[in-house]
């Protein structure tokens, strides 16, 4: 305590000039020790250095982003982990892969899963996430590993994912607990699709259209909101017959334009099979777009969408923004780009009795678009966060952009029914 300018330490009082000198010396030592705790990297619990090092690699577009996070454990080995940080600009998580992610306000936590909790001293673990932003999207810097502060943490930004999506999928996701997705769809009751589209509910080459404006079995639609873009019947670029559906898709949010079938497809099943031919003029963008969308009566009418992101085909669920595959570099590599300036055949199957989906491009199954009901990291683990099987009740063909991405494309020879349909 201090009394009349003199400081008392225990039973001794320092009031003289010599005493004050001794006191100043003691205070200098104390302040020096305190200064050591106020600067530099915060120490890890029970260790002499920081708890971890974090690499944050982001891919950003208007209003959205993905990030691949690599965490190196600088302390003792752990059997489970939690990485926490805050989003300085109010970014919001929408999904993730290879970790259990949660957010409360600006605070975010990523927790290990059953197959990646063990990390040796000096070892690394990686996970990814997707989110939204407005105003700005700075990378986090205040990471903590199992509660202890990490050093580094400044993120890097990349305009495209790494590795770049490849037309040839890799053999298996590197972090998956299973070796690879199965090679054949589990939902198909028949291994041999039927040629043509006889007996299907939707069977259209647009030959019933007499002018450039949609009539009869097709009508103009914008399921979310309408902006620029157009759908017309074209006679100059066709796959078969004399007509095809032309879509002039525009970039920017809310430029949604589709052709909707007027046929009742709500009873098609128990597996919904579809086939269409499509021709693009521009490669799929890094930003999210949708080309085929179907209202799901079991998800509040929200849409089940087949489109693209990060340059490759993907399924997207409107209600929670889940994707198939996950938008990690490993997941994207399990999908394929959509060839341009040529007609290609796309087929898909959606089971309405259980979570099971498959997609084929030119009769080749796309591994990343394979949902077999068993969670596989980087493929359908995120998708299976919803266990209820979808029930498509509409069919729209067109273009829906959420940022960058414009295209002119054509659809032809479209079919949808309860049995597999060949290209």
CATH number at residue 130: 2.60.40.290
- Residues 49/76, Cβ–Cβ less than 8 Å: no
More confident residue, 8 or 373: 373
Residue with tokens 């591994």: 367
The pLDDT > 90 percentage for the chain reads: 58
Length of the chain, please? 423
Residue 157 above 70 pLDDT?
Answer: no
167 lies in a domain? no
- Is 190 inside any structural domain? no
Whether residues 348 and 254 share a domain: the answer is: yes
Are 289 and 280 in contact, with CB atoms under 8 Å apart?
Answer: no
Domain check: are 277 and 379 in the same one? Answer: yes
Give dist(CA 130, CA 133) in Å, integer.
10
**Tens digit of pLDDT for each residue in 88-118?**
999 998 877 778 899 999 999 999 987 789 9
Q: Is residue 169 part of a domain?
A: no
Query: Does the pLDDT value for residue 189 go beyond 90?
Result: no
pLDDT value at residue 39? 32
Residue 270 and residue 214 in one domain: yes
Clarify whether residues 108 and 254 are in a common domain: no
Q: Do 314 and 323 meet the contact criterion of CB atoms below 8 Å apart?
A: yes
Measured distance CA(420)–CA(363) in Å, rounded: 12
Is residue 417 scored above 60 in pLDDT? yes
Residue 336 has pLDDT above 90, yes or no: yes
Question: 348 with 386, same domain?
Answer: yes
Question: Is residue 176 situated within a structural domain?
Answer: no
Put the strands of the sheet holding 12-14 in their side by side order: 2-3, 6-9, 12-14
Q: What pLDDT does 49 receive?
A: 52
pLDDT for 163 equals 35
Same domain, 220 and 261: yes
- Residue at 69 is within a domain: yes
Averaging pLDDT over each range in 30-39, 65-74, 230-239, 250-259, which range is the top one? 230-239
The two tokens of residue 7 are: 């400081």
Nearest to 402 by CA among 155, 106, 62, 117: 62
pLDDT at residue 11, as a whole number? 35
**Sheet architecture: strand order including 107-111:** 100-104, 107-111, 82-86, 144-145, 148-149
Least confident of 84-88, 223-227, 260-264, 300-304: 223-227
The token pair at 420 is 């597999």
Cis before residue 353, ω within 30 degrees of 0?
no
Which residues are within 8 A (CB) of 306 and not within 5 positions of it... i.e. 6 or more apart? 290, 291, 292, 293, 313, 314, 315, 316, 346, 348, 359
Domain boundary (92, 124, 157) is at 157
Whether residue 216 sits in one domain with residue 276: yes
372 exposure class (CB count in 10 Å sphere: 0-12, 13-18, 19+) = buried
- pLDDT for residue 365 is more than 70: yes
pLDDT at 16 over 90: no
Is the whole-model pTM more than 0.75? no
- Residue 206 shares a structural domain with residue 329: yes
Asked whether the predicted pLDDT for residue 235 surpasses 70, the reply is yes
Number of domains in the chain: 3
pLDDT of residue 343: 97
Co-location of 362 and 302 in the same domain: yes
pLDDT at residue 262 above 80?
A: yes
> Bigger pLDDT: 37 or 285?
285
Answer with the residue of higher pLDDT: 340 or 172.
Answer: 340
DSSP string, 167-235: SS--SS-TT-SSSS--SS-SS-S-SSPBSS-TT-SEEE-STT--SSS--TTEEEE-SS---S-EEEEES
Q: Supply the pLDDT for residue 192.
A: 65
Q: Which residue has the higher pLDDT, 50 or 342?
A: 342
Share of the chain above pLDDT 70, in %: 78
In a domain, 164, yes or no: no
Q: Per the domain annotation, does 166 fall within a domain? A: no
Residues 59 and 31 reside in one and the same domain? no
What is the pLDDT of the chain when averaged over all its residues? 80
**Residue 355 domain-assigned (yes or no):** yes
Q: Which domain holds residue 387?
A: 202-417
Closest C-alpha among 369, 368, 360 to residue 423: 360
What CATH number should be reported for the domain holding residue 253? 2.60.120.200
Q: Are residues 29 and 130 in the same domain?
A: no
50-61: average pLDDT? 83
Domain boundary among 93, 125, 157: 157
Answer with the one of 157, 179, 212 that is the final residue of a domain.
157
pLDDT score of 41: 30
Same domain, 109 and 222: no
pLDDT of residue 151: 64
């Amino acid at each position: 305590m201090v009394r009349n300018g003199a400081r008392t330490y225990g039973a001794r009082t320092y009031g003289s000039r010599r005493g004050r000198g001794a006191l100043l010396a003691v205070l200098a030592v104390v302040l020096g020790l305190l200064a050591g705790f106020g600067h530099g990297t915060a120490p890890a619990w029970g260790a002499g250095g920081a708890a971890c090092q974090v690499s944050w690699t982001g891919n950003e577009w208007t209003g959205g982003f993905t990030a691949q996070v690599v965490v190196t454990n600088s302390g003792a080995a752990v059997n489970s982990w939690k990485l926490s940080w805050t989003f300085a600009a109010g970014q919001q998580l929408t999904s993730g892969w290879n970790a259990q992610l949660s957010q409360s306000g600006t605070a975010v936590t990523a927790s290990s899963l059953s197959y990646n909790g063990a990390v040796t001293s000096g070892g690394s673990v990686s996970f990814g996430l997707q989110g939204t932003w407005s105003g700005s999207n700075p990378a986090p810097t205040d990471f903590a590993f199992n509660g202890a502060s990490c050093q580094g943490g400044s993120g890097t930004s990349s305009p495209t994912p790494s590795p770049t999506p490849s037309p040839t999928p890799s053999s298996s996701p590197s972090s998956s607990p299973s070796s690879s997705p199965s090679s054949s769809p589990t939902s198909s009751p028949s291994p041999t699709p039927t040629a043509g589209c006889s007996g299907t509910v939707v069977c259209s080459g647009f030959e019933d259209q007499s002018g450039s404006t949609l009539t009869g079995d097709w009508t103009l639609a914008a399921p979310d909101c309408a902006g620029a873009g157009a759908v017309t019947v074209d006679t100059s670029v066709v796959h078969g017959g004399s007509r095809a559906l032309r879509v002039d898709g525009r970039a920017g949010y809310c430029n949604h334009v589709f052709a909707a079938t007027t046929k009742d497809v709500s009873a098609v099943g128990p597996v919904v099979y579809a086939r269409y031919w499509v021709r693009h003029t521009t490669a799929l963008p890094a930003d999210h777009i949708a080309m085929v969308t179907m209202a799901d009566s079991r998800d509040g009418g929200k849409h089940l969408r087949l489109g693209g992101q990060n340059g490759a085909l993907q399924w997207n669920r409107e209600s929670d923004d889940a994707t198939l595959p996950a938008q990690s570099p490993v997941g994207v590599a399990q999908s394929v780009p959509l060839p341009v300036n040529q007609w290609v055949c796309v087929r898909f199957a959606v089971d309405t009795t259980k979570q099971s989906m498959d997609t084929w491009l030119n009769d080749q199954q796309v591994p990343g678009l394979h949902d077999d009901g068993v969670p596989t990291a980087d493929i359908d683990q995120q998708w299976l966060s919803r266990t209820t099987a979808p029930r498509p009740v509409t069919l729209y063909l067109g273009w829906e952009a959420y940022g960058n991405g414009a295209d002119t494309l054509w659809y032809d020879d479209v079919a949808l029914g309860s049995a597999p349909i060949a290209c």
